[in-house]
Every structure is written in C-alpha cells, then in structure tokens.
A and B are shown apart, each in its own frame.
Chain A
C-alpha cells in the first residue's frame, strides 16, 4: 500500500529507522522506552493493519512477558525484596529492569517490521547502489534470474512428466536420477539463455566506462524538511544521551525519574521524533478526509 511515510525518499526513511533503532538500543530508561515501544507498535498497526495487531498479540506479548518474568527469576540484585519464590528473593528493581529490557527488545523488533514494510527491496537496492553499483546490478539481475529459473524448472519438470520421466514418481534412486536430469537440463538451458542475455547487454553498451545508476526516487523539498527535522531532533537526543539523560540507575536501588526542565525537553524531542511517521500518516489521512 502506498503510505505517506513510505513515499518519502528512501534515504530519509532509512535514516529515520537507523536513528530510532540505535536510540532504542542505547536508551535504558522507562520514559524513552515507553515512547519508542508505543510509537513502534502504533506505526506497525498502521502499516500492517489487522496483521499487525495479530502479530503483536501472538508474538510480541508472549515474548514481552517471558523476558519481563525471567529477569527477576534469575537476577536477584536490588535492595527492595518483594517476596521469595522457591527460596529466591524477587526484587522490585529486577522486575522493573526486566520490563524495560523487554520493552527495548520488542520495540526494536517492531521497528524492524516497520522497516521491512517501508524500505522495500528496490529502495534498499537504490541505497545500496550508491555504495557499490556493480553489486546492485548483480542483485537486480539475480532477482530476474530466479523468477526465470523457477518458470523453466516448472516447464522442464512438466515436459519430463509427460514422457514418463518425472522426478515425482518411482523408487528413491530413480527419483534422484530423474531429479538430476531435470537439474542438468535446467543448467544447460539457463546457460544458453545467459549467452543471449549477455549479447543483449553488450548490444546496449554494457561495459562502457562511467556507467551511471538511474532510479525513480527524487529528493524533493518535503524530503529535505523531514530529514532536517529528524537530524535536529536526533541531535538533541544524542546530546541528551551523552550528558547522561539516556540511562537510569536500576541497581542497587532505583533512582527517581529525572523531571528537570532539560529532561522534559529531551522527552518531548524524542517523542516527536518517534511519533514522526505517525504524525505524517495522520496528517495525510486527515487531508484526504477533508477533500472528500
């Protein structure tokens, strides 16, 4: 589906996901983690629809509980003992730490699932082509090749089937033999085809110097604005992280939440950053509704 955020230039969306995933890994603090987890999940719902909800209940929730529960069971650090379980102390600090690390992990997973929806293979190739054009072309050709091979394999196997030499029947050794035949036909056929493909490439000037790489993506003003916003917000958050706002002391006892003005500014900046795709989506759908 063509979403507002997905239509941004691949470089912008790639930077966004890179920044979010790095921050989610770096920050070990309930406010940040809560913000990143919630926005990742909402965005994943927007992108995946009903499947996203199903995914989060069937995969994320059990995983979250597993990590959140297992940390206090195996980790007994912390001063505030709540109760004993099989003669082991269960501490408040360990429970909270468990919840935070589970949130961090689930948030990373959720961001990755969004990433794979937004950065499709052609976008990835485009980004990759900037680094190594030759490899990118090779990947493109391979994608084409694989679908062609699949088709050829089916054709061959059908043709062999109708002369009674199908690899799906007979004893095991017969099957192996017939299977090998099919593969051998496939190899020689595809090699023969490859010669023609090579001719077609040469005929269109492949091998000339200074090959360029074309793409359909255009970097427009909107991409610039969003990228600028992402950079400013990410800059603020990085500054905050390096001045120690990103982490919190859990052991031996939990420090109270930092609510100084600087910290509040930081929380807001991070929230805006994390919610950016959702804001873009919502803005666009509001516009559509208004047009109707």
Chain B
C-alpha cells in the first residue's frame, strides 16, 4: 500500500481565479525520500499543506488525499496529528515553549501520553539527535541551526511515519543546512520514515532523494529518479526558471551534452569533464572594474584597524579589521558563522561603536556625521530580515510612508517611487500586503525603500537568504545595475555561488579579520575548499573557471 496517494487534487485560494494546484496526481511509497522542487509560487507549499490536515489552507478544493489508503479527512485526530509530521521554514516561529525539554514534550503532551511515556520518547529523540547536551537549556540560547534541529526533533518525538519539510533550511547558513539535511537523511535511512521535502538549494538534496517531483504553475511536470529528472530537465528545450537552481554538474551537462550519462554530483561531473575535455588554463578577465584603477580613487568606506566587542568583559569580535570599498564596486564579504560579518556591518553603518580604530565614510569620520546626514543620500543598510522595514498594509503605501517620513515633496515623491519601482519591477505588487509577498519580492520592496533615500553606499546583510535561484539572479542584476550607477555595494553573505557570479571583489572574513581578498574570480580560483561547486568540479581541468558559465564557455572551446 502506498504511504501517500493524491488523486486529481486541484485547489484555489479564496477570491482568486488562478489555481494554486492543478489536478495533481502523486503516489509515494513507504520509506521513500521525495524532493519537491520548483520556483517560488509554483504551489509546493500548498501541496505539502494539503497532506497535513491540521494546517490545510482554506479555499475550494477538488480531489482527495489518501494516507495509507484512508482519506485524510477521515483519519483519527490523534493519529493524524502524530503520524504525519510537518516542519516549516522559520526556526523561530515554530517554537512554542521556552525550554528545549518542554518543546520536545509539547506534541506528546497534546497526545495525552503519561509522564513516563513522554520521558522515554523524549529521551530517545534527544539521544538520536544528539541534543542531550542542551536538553535543559532555554531555547533563546540556541543558534538558528540548533533551533531548526529542535523543531525536527520535537516533531520526530511524536514518531511520525511521514515527515513533511517545507523549505526547512532556507533560514540556515550552509553548514547548519548540511547538518540538518544529513539528519533528515539519517531519519529516512535508519528509521524508514517517508520524507517529503521542498528546497531551493538543490546542490546537495538532489542526490539524496529517491525521486524528484518537479512542479510548475501548480501542476506536476515530472516525477522520477534524480538521473531521469536531471536528464529531462537538461534536455527540455524551454529552459525553466528553476533550472538555475539545479546542481552545477547538471547545468553544465545540459549545455554541452556529451555522453549519455548526466552527472549529478561534483565527483561525477569531474569524471565526466576529465573524460571529454582537454585542460585549458584560460584566465577570465571580463571584469571592467579594475581594482588598480579604483585604487587611485578615494575609497567611500575605509575602515581602519577596527576593534570591537559587545561588552567590556566580552571577547573581541573584530580584531584589527580593515576594509576599503569603492564606488561602483560590488564587494562580497564571505565567511562562516560567528566570524563577525554582521558585527562588521553594524560598525560600518554606525549602529555599533568600535573601541579602537576608525571608520571613514566619504572622507569624513563616521562619528562626525549627524544621524540625518549619514543616512540621507549617503549610506543605507538592508537588514537580514526585510520584515523589520514594513509599516503599511500595501507596498505602495509603505513606499509613500517612507517617502513622507523623509519629507520628500509630493511630486518628486511619486516620480521617484515610480522610477525605482519600474527599475526593480515591483509595480505589480503595489496593492498587495508586504507580508504576502515571497522572500525575493520582499527583499526587492525593502531595497526599493532604501533606494528612496538615494544612497551612495548600500550595505546588505545576507540578501540571498531563503531566495530561490530566480530571485537571486534578479537581485544580482539589480545590484549590478546599481553598481554601474556608481553606488558602492557591500554584501555580507554565506552564498559562494552568488558572490562568484555577481561580485567584483571578494573578501573572506575569519576570526574578526579579513584573511584574504581579491578579484572575485581570482579569489575563488585560488581557494581550495571555499569555492563554487563548478570550480571544484573543473579543478585541474579548467582551474580558472569559477561559475557554471565559465565552465560551459571553456567546454565549448576545448571539447
């Protein structure tokens, strides 16, 4: 018997004509690991929520979902709650209680188990997940990755047979995301729990899945093994927008198409390249922005030997940190968690005060600025979570409100808003609520709000967090355009692929300091581990190729 069977499921949200799901048919076997992918708004989340009865969205629905042969509406309440587990995107909001042990026990309390039973199940789960060390901690002390692991553990404590995860790693940094996915794979492998997962970052999960569902506009386009799906996606003539999110090996293969076997992993891709290609040592120097020439200009941001700590007794977060940013240049600062990246942005933007060293913005010390001067026509910071910027019920209202607070006059105001909105292509969301937009759209609206201030320096904190490949590309293009208008852009990010593609200059931060810096392509070509998948794949064959496009271009020359 199939674990899950969906028959002719169609669904539309209230007050919309458009169908969020279009006659979906799906059969998932016991113990399978299924990956659902597609661009934002393709109906992935809507589909997943239809499998979990308690949180099914309201709207008009046709068709049925069977869990182990029983219609999902007819399942026993207790069974439905415990046997189908659901983990959502945001690690913060899913936590209900204040302590780790209570969070683990929460679902079991709801099911009405006795204390001794709960004790046993909680203990089992805590040991399985290796969280017995922080069992008695308060949830506030946990990192984002730990929080999400706790969410997973507290769902697993109810011993589900089917585990649904809706973009669980979108808010995590790459290392925490890998940890999390490894745990999900372990659950699937060792406990034989059926897993249905959606993801944007496909580089790793693509290989983990038994079968992959590809969705487009609410319908299933393809449901097959990774190899077959890769082949299908690679061969399809209309390049889907989700194509950008596929693992590098597949993207490269789809352009070259030598051999019958589509490589999936970096290892396979390397083998494949070695088989068909002759090594080329070509250096990519398509960068118009030459740092040497820039150096003659004055830097717009010059941070010199900054030392910073949060309290007198605390550890130093920044240790003699120096950085220069020039106008018209996109600078990406990369680095792991806790290396002081976000703190660095805080110091540069005047939120935090260093105790030694100086920050010079446009030739003037940052302390010498009045708050209004510093943030008007000068410097703006896009926070990690754009929600912190939205005030009004509609996007347009929000932009207008910001403009009024900034005391722009009516005429310039509306022309400015229109200009920026067209540039960022957000005019179509004007009447929608900012909260109803997808992550990428929110990011753009927030950026539009900043651009109203006409900044000369834009600082961005993890702008690609939780974005799908298409939104990332769009964001990258916007930033490039800003760069060409002589705006200095400093991005703090974990996202190597994004930096490789769009940055002019890259710097790596470690232990409160910049340890290496260079032109983006040279920087990544010089790194061994901390580099793009395409570069790792082509290492030794095309040592200077960093992005998929580079590899493809060289393949065309060499092959």
Decide: A144 and B94 in contact? CB cutoff 8 A. Answer: no
Indicate whether B325 reaches chain A with its CB closer than 8 angstroms.
Answer: no
B539 to chain A, nearest CB (A): 40
The contact of A141 among B93, B97, B112, B114, by CB within 8 Å, is: B97
Instruction: Please indicate which of the listed interface residues A193, A203, A216 has the most CB atoms of chain B within 10 Å of its own CB.
Output: A203
Decide: B375 and A163 in contact? CB cutoff 8 A. Answer: yes
Decide: B154 and A204 in contact? CB cutoff 8 A. Answer: yes
Decide: B93 and A200 in contact? CB cutoff 8 A. Answer: yes
Decide: A205 and B107 in contact? CB cutoff 8 A. Answer: yes
State the interface size on chain B (CB cutoff 8 A): 70
255-270 of chain A: CB within 8 A of chain B: none
Indicate whether A51 reaches chain B with its CB closer than 8 angstroms.
Answer: no
Decide: B88 and A199 in contact? CB cutoff 8 A. Answer: yes
Which A residues touch B109, using CB under 8 A? 211-214
B535 to chain A, nearest CB (A): 34
Indicate whether B10 reaches chain A with its CB closer than 8 angstroms.
Answer: no
Decide: B55 and A203 in contact? CB cutoff 8 A. Answer: yes
Q: How far is the CA of A193 from the CA of B90 in the complex (A)?
A: 9
Q: Which applies to chain A's interface (DSSP): helix, strand, loop or mixed? A: helix
Which A residues touch B107, using CB under 8 A? 204-205
Decide: A212 and B158 in contact? CB cutoff 8 A. Answer: no
Indicate whether A244 reaches chain B with its CB closer than 8 angstroms.
Answer: no
Indicate whether B438 reaches chain A with its CB closer than 8 angstroms.
Answer: no
Decide: B387 and A212 in contact? CB cutoff 8 A. Answer: no
Decide: B402 and A184 in contact? CB cutoff 8 A. Answer: no
Decide: A212 and B113 in contact? CB cutoff 8 A. Answer: yes
The contact of A208 among B93, B111, B387, by CB within 8 Å, is: B111
The contact of A159 among B78, B105, B383, B453, by CB within 8 Å, is: B383
Which B residues touch A140, using CB under 8 A? 97-98, 102
Q: A158-B383, A204-B155 are in contact. Are A196 and B94 (CB under 8 A)?
A: yes
A174 to chain B: closest residue by CB: B405
443-475 of chain B: CB within 8 A of chain A: 449-450, 453, 459
Q: How far is the CA of A287 from the CA of B510 in the complex (A)?
A: 48
Decide: B453 and A163 in contact? CB cutoff 8 A. Answer: yes
Decide: A164 and B154 in contact? CB cutoff 8 A. Answer: no
155-185 of chain A: CB within 8 A of chain B: 155-156, 158-166, 169, 178, 181, 184-185
The contact of B389 among A122, A137, A159, A196, by CB within 8 Å, is: A159
Q: A155-B383, A205-B81 are in contact. Are A197 and B93 (CB under 8 A)?
A: yes
A203 to chain B: closest residue by CB: B86
Decide: A185 and B388 in contact? CB cutoff 8 A. Answer: yes
Decide: A164 and B97 in contact? CB cutoff 8 A. Answer: no
Which A residues touch B77, using CB under 8 A? 205, 208
The contact of A200 among B88, B388, B391, B459, by CB within 8 Å, is: B88
Indicate whether B385 reaches chain A with its CB closer than 8 angstroms.
Answer: yes
Instruction: Please indicate which of the listed interface residues B96, B155, B375, B402 has the most CB atoms of chain A within 10 Å of its own CB.
Output: B96
The contact of B380 among A155, A163, A196, A203, by CB within 8 Å, is: A163
B445 to chain A, nearest CB (A): 13
Indicate whether A3 reaches chain B with its CB closer than 8 angstroms.
Answer: no
Which B residues touch A148, using CB under 8 A? 92
Q: How far is the CA of A199 from the CA of B98 in the complex (A)?
A: 17
Indicate whether B368 reaches chain A with its CB closer than 8 angstroms.
Answer: no
State the interface size on chain A (CB cutoff 8 A): 50
B508 to chain A, nearest CB (A): 25
Indicate whether B327 reaches chain A with its CB closer than 8 angstroms.
Answer: no
The contact of A203 among B52, B381, B402, by CB within 8 Å, is: B52
The contact of A215 among B115, B155, B376, by CB within 8 Å, is: B115
Decide: A214 and B108 in contact? CB cutoff 8 A. Answer: yes
Instruction: Please indicate which of the listed interface residues A148, A162, A185 has the most CB atoms of chain B within 10 Å of its own CB.
Output: A162
The contact of A144 among B81, B96, B108, B119, by CB within 8 Å, is: B96
Chain A 94-126 per-residue mask, 1 if CB under 8 angstroms from chain B, else 0: 000000000000000000000000000010000
Chain B 74-100 per-residue mask, 1 if CB under 8 angstroms from chain A, else 0: 000110011001101010111111110
Indicate whether B240 reaches chain A with its CB closer than 8 angstroms.
Answer: no
Indicate whether A206 reaches chain B with its CB closer than 8 angstroms.
Answer: yes
366-394 of chain B: CB within 8 A of chain A: 371-372, 374-376, 379-381, 383, 385, 387-391
Q: A155-B383, A164-B406 are in contact. Are A200 and B94 (CB under 8 A)?
A: yes
Instruction: Please indicate which of the listed interface residues B52, B86, B405, B459 has the most CB atoms of chain A within 10 Å of its own CB.
Output: B405
A206 to chain B: closest residue by CB: B110
Q: How far is the CA of A194 from the CA of B95 in the complex (A)?
A: 10
Indicate whether A222 reaches chain B with its CB closer than 8 angstroms.
Answer: no
Q: How far is the CA of A159 from the CA of B346 in the complex (A)?
A: 10
Indicate whether B106 reaches chain A with its CB closer than 8 angstroms.
Answer: yes
The contact of B375 among A137, A162, A216, by CB within 8 Å, is: A162
Q: A162-B349, A200-B96 are in contact. Are A207 and B449 (CB under 8 A)?
A: no
Decide: A208 and B78 in contact? CB cutoff 8 A. Answer: yes
The contact of B106 among A156, A181, A199, A204, by CB within 8 Å, is: A204
Decide: B115 and A214 in contact? CB cutoff 8 A. Answer: yes
B84 to chain A: closest residue by CB: A203
Q: A164-B406, A192-B387 are in contact. Are A205 and B102 (CB under 8 A)?
A: no
Which A residues touch B110, using CB under 8 A? 204-208, 211
Which B residues touch A205, using CB under 8 A? 54, 77-78, 81-82, 107, 110-111, 158
The contact of A185 among B55, B379, B391, B453, by CB within 8 Å, is: B391
Decide: B391 and A184 in contact? CB cutoff 8 A. Answer: yes
Indicate whether B124 reaches chain A with its CB closer than 8 angstroms.
Answer: no
Decide: A189 and B388 in contact? CB cutoff 8 A. Answer: yes
Indicate whether A202 reaches chain B with its CB closer than 8 angstroms.
Answer: yes
Indicate whether A289 reaches chain B with its CB closer than 8 angstroms.
Answer: no
Chain A 195-234 per-residue mask, 1 if CB under 8 angstroms from chain B, else 0: 0110111111111111111111000000000000000000
Q: How far is the CA of A286 from the CA of B379 in the complex (A)?
A: 64
Indicate whether B292 reaches chain A with its CB closer than 8 angstroms.
Answer: no
A210 to chain B, nearest CB (A): 4
137-160 of chain A: CB within 8 A of chain B: 137, 140-141, 143-144, 147-148, 152, 155-156, 158-160
Q: How far is the CA of A156 from the CA of B390 in the complex (A)?
A: 10
Decide: B453 and A196 in contact? CB cutoff 8 A. Answer: no
Which B residues touch A213, using CB under 8 A? 109
98-136 of chain B: CB within 8 A of chain A: 98-99, 101-102, 105-115, 118-119, 122, 136
Indicate whether B490 reaches chain A with its CB closer than 8 angstroms.
Answer: no
Which A residues touch B52, using CB under 8 A? 203
A200 to chain B, nearest CB (A): 4
Q: How far is the CA of A66 from the CA of B350 in the complex (A)?
A: 52
Indicate whether B140 reaches chain A with its CB closer than 8 angstroms.
Answer: yes
Decide: B139 and A144 in contact? CB cutoff 8 A. Answer: yes
A199 to chain B: closest residue by CB: B55
What are 9 residue pairs bridging A and B, where the CB atoms are less than 8 Å apart in the complex?
A: A147-B140, A148-B92, A159-B389, A162-B459, A164-B376, A194-B93, A202-B54, A205-B107, A214-B122
7 nearest A-B pairs in the assembled complex, by CB-CB distance: A205-B81, A164-B375, A204-B107, A159-B388, A162-B381, A196-B93, A210-B112
Other than the given A197-B95, A208-B77, A208-B110, 9 more pairs (CB < 8 A) read A144-B98, A152-B388, A159-B388, A162-B459, A164-B375, A165-B406, A194-B93, A211-B109, A214-B122
Contacts from A to B (Cβ < 8 Å): 122, 137, 140-141, 143-144, 147-148, 152, 155-156, 158-166, 169, 178, 181, 184-185, 188-189, 192-194, 196-197, 199-216
